[in-house]
C-alpha cells in the first residue's frame, strides 16, 4: 500500500470514528430506544412495543400533564407512565375519576369501564405535590404500578419523554 492509500484509509477511518462518536453521543444524551414491558399503559401502549425516548426534552421544556415518560425505578427498572399531577397540585381519585385541585381531569385516552380504588395524596403523606416531584399513573389503572404504590416521582427519575412508537411498523405513532 502506498502513502496515498494509507492517507485515504486514515481519512475514512477518522470519518467512521467521528460518526460513531456522534451516534454514541446522540444515544446517550439525546434519544434512546425503550420497550414496553407489561400492560400498565394499555390501551395507549402494549407489551413489546418499541418506542423512541427524547432524553433532551426536559432540559429545555417543562414537564407537562399528559406526557408519557420513562422513569427510573429501583435502580434497575424503567417504568413508562403518564404525568398526571404537577408540583403544587393536589390529586384525588374518587369513583374512577381523577381530580386535580378539585377539578375533574378529562382523560380521553382511558378505556371505558375501568374500576380502581379511591386515592388521595394524603395516602402517601402529602397535601400537595412538592417542587420537582410528579404524580404518575398508568393508563390501565386496574393493573399499574404507579404513584399510588411507589409514591411521587422526582424530576431526576424521569429519563425522558416518549415521542414515538416505531414498532410494530404498522402501529407507528407520534405522541
In this structure, what CATH number is given to the domain that contains residue 147?
2.10.109.10
Q: Does the residue 148 lie in any domain? A: yes
Largest CA distance in the chain: 79
H or E segment and range at residue 62: none
Q: Does the residue 156 lie in any domain? A: yes
Q: Does the residue 121 lie in any domain? A: yes
3-class SS at 59?
helix
Q: Is 77 a catalytic residue?
A: no
3-class SS at 84?
strand
Whether residue 37 is predicted with pLDDT greater than 90 in this model: the reply is no
Q: Does the residue 106 lie in any domain? A: yes
Number of helices and strands (H, E) in the chain? 3, 12
- Of the candidates 79, 66, 152, which has an alpha carbon nearest to the alpha carbon of residue 110? 66
Q: Is 144 a catalytic residue?
A: no
Number of domains in the chain: 1
* Residues 132, 14: Cα–Cα separation, whole Å: 43
* Residues 168, 19: Cα–Cα separation, whole Å: 28
* Residues 98, 82: Cα–Cα separation, whole Å: 13
Residue 1's pLDDT is 61
From 81, 144, 147, 161, active-site residue: 81
Output the CA angle 112-122-91, nearest 5 degrees.
40
Whether residue 44 is predicted with pLDDT greater than 80 in this model: the reply is yes
- Residue 58, domain extent: 33-168
Q: Does the residue 44 lie in any domain? A: yes
For 71-99, the DSSP string reads EEETTTEEEEEEEEE-TT--EEEETTEEE
Q: What is the pLDDT of residues 56-109, one digit of tens each?
A: 888 888 999 999 999 988 766 788 999 999 999 999 999 999 999 999 999 988
Other residues' Cβ atoms within 10 Å of the Cβ of residue 56:
13
Q: What are phi and psi of 134, to 5 degrees?
A: -140, 150
Whether residue 47 is predicted with pLDDT greater than 80 in this model: the reply is yes
- Count of all residues that appear for the chain in the document: 175
Q: Does the residue 67 lie in any domain? A: yes
Cell 415518560 belongs to: 69
Q: What is the pLDDT of residues 125-144, one digit of tens each?
A: 888 999 999 999 999 998 88
Amino acid at each position: 500500500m502506498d502513502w496515498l492509500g494509507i492517507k485515504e484509509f486514515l481519512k475514512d477511518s477518522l470519518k467512521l470514528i467521528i460518526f460513531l462518536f456522534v451516534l454514541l453521543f446522540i444515544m446517550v444524551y439525546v434519544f434512546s430506544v425503550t420497550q414496553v414491558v407489561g400492560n400498565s399503559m394499555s390501551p395507549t401502549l402494549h407489551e413489546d412495543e418499541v418506542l423512541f425516548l427524547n432524553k433532551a426534552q426536559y432540559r429545555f421544556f417543562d414537564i407537562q400533564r399528559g406526557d408519557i415518560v420513562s422513569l427510573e425505578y429501583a435502580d434497575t427498572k424503567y417504568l413508562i407512565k403518564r404525568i398526571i399531577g404537577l408540583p403544587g397540585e393536589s390529586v384525588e381519585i374518587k369513583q374512577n375519576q381523577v381530580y386535580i385541585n378539585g377539578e375533574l381531569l378529562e382523560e380521553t385516552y382511558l378505556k371505558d369501564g375501568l374500576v380502581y380504588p379511591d386515592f388521595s395524596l394524603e395516602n402517601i403523606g402529602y397535601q400537595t405535590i412538592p417542587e420537582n416531584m410528579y404524580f404518575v399513573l398508568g393508563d390501565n389503572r386496574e393493573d399499574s404500578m404507579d404513584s399510588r404504590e411507589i409514591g411521587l416521582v422526582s424530576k431526576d427519575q424521569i429519563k425522558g419523554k416518549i415521542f414515538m412508537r416505531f414498532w410494530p411498523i404498522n402501529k407507528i405513532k407520534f405522541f
